[in-house]
Amino acid sequence: MKSFSSLALLSFVSVAVACVARALASTLSPTTAISREGLNVDWAPLLVAAKNGLLTRVDKGSETMMSLEPLAIHNLLEHDASFSRDDYRNGTGDNLHFNETIFTALANSNPGVDYYNTTSAARVMYERLQFSIATNPTLINTQRELTGRAGTGALWLAVMGNATTGVAPKNFVQIFFREERLPYLEGWKPSPSLIGIAQLGPIEQALIAGSNWTQSQHCEPVVTGPGSQVNTAA
Ligand SMILES: *[C@@H]1O[C@H](CO)[C@@H](O)[C@H](O)[C@H]1NC(C)=O
Ligand SMILES: *[C@@H]1O[C@H](CO)[C@@H](O)[C@H](O)[C@H]1NC(C)=O
Ligand SMILES: *[C@@H]1O[C@H](CO)[C@@H](O)[C@H](O)[C@H]1NC(C)=O
Ligand SMILES: *[C@@H]1O[C@H](CO)[C@@H](O)[C@H](O)[C@H]1NC(C)=O
Ligand SMILES: *[C@@H]1O[C@H](CO)[C@@H](O)[C@H](O)[C@H]1NC(C)=O
């Protein structure tokens, strides 16, 4: 179903989890509309993302369907060092469509077991960033991008797997990214409980802690809500 462009939703929610405005299009699907209900993800984080992004509608229509293509704009919501998309670079990189070469780091991670977890996903974040540092002279890598990347990781771990433990079957994650569909046929089910910031936050923090992140540039603080601010790095 077109409205279940799952990659897009995961990317989209990640922005909210990260509470930053620039997390998206590196995991965006080119499909234009998505629905949140199929994944059992809370609306609140989505709305934060929408407000921070380009989506300003607040009528009922915008609560169920969102336009995603504008979110591929580099460094608005989209970020470098994605799990599944190439860096934008100087405009020569395709930051919108799935890239199997980029995905290799994730696909090959946590060898010997059939699941991904926060340890393995954090290592992939590290590897992906090292690749971008080595190959992308126009890399943007501030704390804002870090929170976006970790938020995205928390989303696919929680939505494809267990939102409490952050453990997700590899098969589900693979299908989700490569085929851009929800793996119902393979046995995936939406989380029995609503996934919100309470679940995603700890997973995101574990990813940040495990990824040995170093910044390439410093960004100004991004105020995301009352008492909430991204970027305290010097
Ligand atoms: C996928 O990403 C790799 C690594 O950056 C790049 O060399 C390649 O051109 C990309 N492929 C496509 C089809 O964009
Ligand atoms: C963009 O990067 C490519 C590859 O490094 C290079 O060939 C090209 O000249 C660059 N274009 C601009 C406008 O800088
Ligand atoms: C993730 O899985 C690997 C492989 O089984 C394991 O060594 C590691 O301890 C796990 N991480 C967590 C946080 O459980
Ligand atoms: C992060 O650094 C610690 C300490 O040096 C190391 O044990 C760990 O393997 C590193 N993790 C990654 C993902 O590079
Ligand atoms: C997630 O893992 C927890 C802890 O192991 C478990 O209690 C819970 O039932 C799992 N949730 C699902 C949906 O499998």
Within-domain flag for 87? yes
132 Cα to the center of ligand 2, angstroms: 16
- At 216, is the secondary structure helix, strand, or coil? coil
Report the C-alpha gap between 147 and 155 in whole angstroms.
Answer: 12
Within-domain flag for 1? no
Residue nearest to atom 11 of ligand 3 (CA): 119
- Mean pLDDT, the chain, rounded, equals 76
Q: By C-alpha distance, which of 104, 98, 99, 48 is closest to 77?
A: 48
pLDDT at 157: 95
Residue nearest to atom 11 of ligand 2 (CA): 90
Exposed (0-12), middle (13-18) or buried (19+): which is 127, by Cβ within 10 Å? middle
Residue nearest to atom 12 of ligand 5 (CA): 162
Q: What radius of gyration, in Å, describes the C-alpha atoms of the chain?
A: 16
Share of the chain above pLDDT 70, in %: 65
pLDDT at 223: 72
Report the C-alpha gap between 203 and 209 in whole angstroms.
Answer: 10
**What is the band of 35 on the pLDDT scale with cuts at 50, 70, 90?**
very low
Please say if the pLDDT value at position 201 is more than 60: yes
Pairing relationship of beta strands 222-225 and 228-230 according to DSSP bridges: antiparallel
Mean pLDDT for 91-102 is 92
Ligand 4 atom, smallest distance to 126 CA: 13
**What is the band of 40 on the pLDDT scale with cuts at 50, 70, 90?**
low
pLDDT at 3: 29
Which of 83, 94, 177 is the pocket-test mutation for ligand 1 (most atoms within 8 Å of CB)?
94
Cβ of residue 126 lying under 6 Å from some atom of ligand 4: yes
120 Cα to the center of ligand 5, angstroms: 19
Ligand 2 atom, smallest distance to 91 CA: 1
Residue nearest to atom 10 of ligand 2 (CA): 90
Strand partners, 222: 230
165 Cα to the center of ligand 5, angstroms: 7
Within-domain flag for 30? yes
Q: Write a three-state SS string for 108-173.
A: CCCCCCCEECHHHHHHHHHHHHHHHHHHCCCCCCCHHHHHHHHHHHHHHHHHHCECCCCEEEHHHH
**C-alpha torsion angle, residues 131, 134, 139, 143 (rounded to 10):** 60
51 Cα to the center of ligand 4, angstroms: 36
Would you put residue 91 in left (φ > 0), alpha (ψ -120 to 50) or beta?
A: left
Within-domain flag for 59? yes
pLDDT at 218: 85
Which of 74, 86, 89, 90 is the pocket-test mutation for ligand 2 (most atoms within 8 Å of CB)?
90
Retrieve residue 169's tokens: 């079957």
**What is the band of 217 on the pLDDT scale with cuts at 50, 70, 90?**
confident
pLDDT at 75: 73
**What is the band of 148 on the pLDDT scale with cuts at 50, 70, 90?**
confident
Share of the chain above pLDDT 90, in %: 48
pLDDT at 118: 98
**What is the band of 26 on the pLDDT scale with cuts at 50, 70, 90?**
very low
Cβ of residue 164 lying under 6 Å from some atom of ligand 5: yes
Question: Higher confidence at residue 68 or residue 162?
Answer: 162
Give the orientation angle of helix 197-210 with respect to helix 143-160, to 10 degrees. 120
> What's the CATH number where 132 sits?
1.10.489.10
Would you tell me how many other CB atoms lie within 10 Å of the CB of residue 229?
11
Range of the domain at 147: 6-230
Please say if the pLDDT value at position 175 is more than 70: yes
Report the C-alpha gap between 87 and 67 in whole angstroms.
Answer: 22
Least confident span in 9-13, 128-132, 223-227: 9-13
Q: By C-alpha distance, which of 84, 88, 85, 87 is closest to 106?
A: 84
Number of domains in the chain: 1
Cβ of residue 92 lying under 6 Å from some atom of ligand 2: yes
pLDDT at 74: 74
Please say if the pLDDT value at position 133 is more than 50: yes
Would you tell me how many other CB atoms lie within 10 Å of the CB of residue 23?
35
